[in-house]
Structure 1
């Protein structure tokens, strides 16, 4: 009896200790589980949809970045307006910028840092950027030149005030030979051998590059400017509302079209009479809405359209003059010739000498043949593009007003 009594009494302290240890271990384990639980991904838990709200947890950075390489759906603006309270999007706890209204490719930049346009203003390598420019020219004049026409270009450039940026495209590769001319030091010189002015224009006169300039002159090198003043010319262009224009041509020097012939009794003309059968409509080229491509002047807005119409591979520009009307409306009112500021076309065949002799033909013959081929190719491209457009929208091209 005594032994049994001591045995029963001896178990009690051990059981109490075991209970205490078990409780402590249980609390510690529960604490560890509780601490680690928030770090578990909900996407790895197989929870019933009735326990959680419907949430798309599979959205990833890859899906988001795909937007930049695909066309935005038509519903994007309305969806964007719903979230207009913030342009920053959250990704993995980090703020990310996505601005669809930015220029293509710059969607990940804050709008305040986007510099979408540029210019030809020369900058210093020292000092404050804000003090670089004493004047910001409002107009741009370009000449496509060879050294043989240096004297003629010198005379032409002097007809343009400091309100013009001067840009020379050198097709013969000779640039330093112009350094003795004072104005050449402030001009921009771009050199690429044996190229035309429309090749240069397509590559160096992008609308976002020339955006600071109200008007852009894209001129040949063989123009006599004795009777021309650029500032007065632009005054008349603004007065008569011309978006695309050219100076009148001296009547007896290489005229092809009646439209560009100078009228001695007026400031500007916008229509003319041509040979019988040449004009299907008195308001269409070459009787109206027409200038030639030797000395065109474009407003900023007109040039933005014309630049996109210039074909990358058709470098001579033949046929472009007949299509310029597509970039302004009404074309017969906004395209014209300034008569009281006129020039002389000297008809120097400079580009012909830049060709190569093939199949026994002189270099100039090959150049002229390509000019004619390009004219035909350009006309076909314009016609095919218009027909495809009208067909796509369900309109009979023969009933359109684009032709």
Structure 2
């Protein structure tokens, strides 16, 4: 692609002498330099996003380790999850606070908070004796949220298992790992109990009721997050961008979610574009966002009930979501390696994406 653009771009800059030999004019040299500058800038951009040898080796090795431990160490997989959190999330945090606007308010979103609470509960179980009724309540809530909203979010958000990208790896972690952990704790509970007999007793497992225990506990946990988050978003959160901070709400409204919200509220396209440009949205946008968020979460919790009803359904859903993250990643890598440089050159040279490189001769 790049060589074709260079050849076409030099067509009007090449001169023929008496010996019918071609030589590059100063104008041609400028074309070459422009193309090289675009390619170098694109390479630097990819490296700034983490595409380095170290990150790629770490990402591939980490993925292989997780896959191996899921099958070989079912009793200890929850420890792997905790370790992954303490390794990946500090890296994610350092990137969030360096960006402009700063992104660490993203961690107030439900998926992040659910993982933080889950990790804290696992650490508490490791060091303190917890009442059996509390264990049952927490297990049911974790089952409902981990195998419902968090797992389904992979498909909704389009998570990608990019080996070099810690941001995307962290997103896969918080959405996929809770379901994998609950699979091990539910269907391989004998191995978990054998590894940690003083922590996990599972006397309650066969007494769990799908709707009363799993659905109700998961829904109550969700609303325990939703109510304070809604209060914060409708007050302080709306003005976060003016203070140099971004939020998941504003990020969503600048994208496809904003178009859906504007259509629901019947906001004219021109007015919505102005709201996006200013990164300032009315509270009506936030109310619609919170309502849709709540509906999607409550509708996805029943997926967790299916996971509890049948082991095969659970592992198939987990496997499907893993394959989806790989598929999404393959699309991204294909773009990076095949299309991104060509598109960057086209933008620089003013060639429309729908035209061939010969369009440069018409300019």
For the aligned pair, the TM-score class normalised by the smaller chain equals under 0.3
TM-score by length of 2: 0.26
Which protein is richer in helix relative to its size? 2
Tell me which of the two structures has the higher relative contact order, counting C-alpha pairs closer than 8 angstroms and 6 or more residues apart. 2
TM-score by length of 1: 0.24
Which protein is richer in strand relative to its size? 1
Give the number of the structure whose alpha-carbon radius of gyration is greater.
1
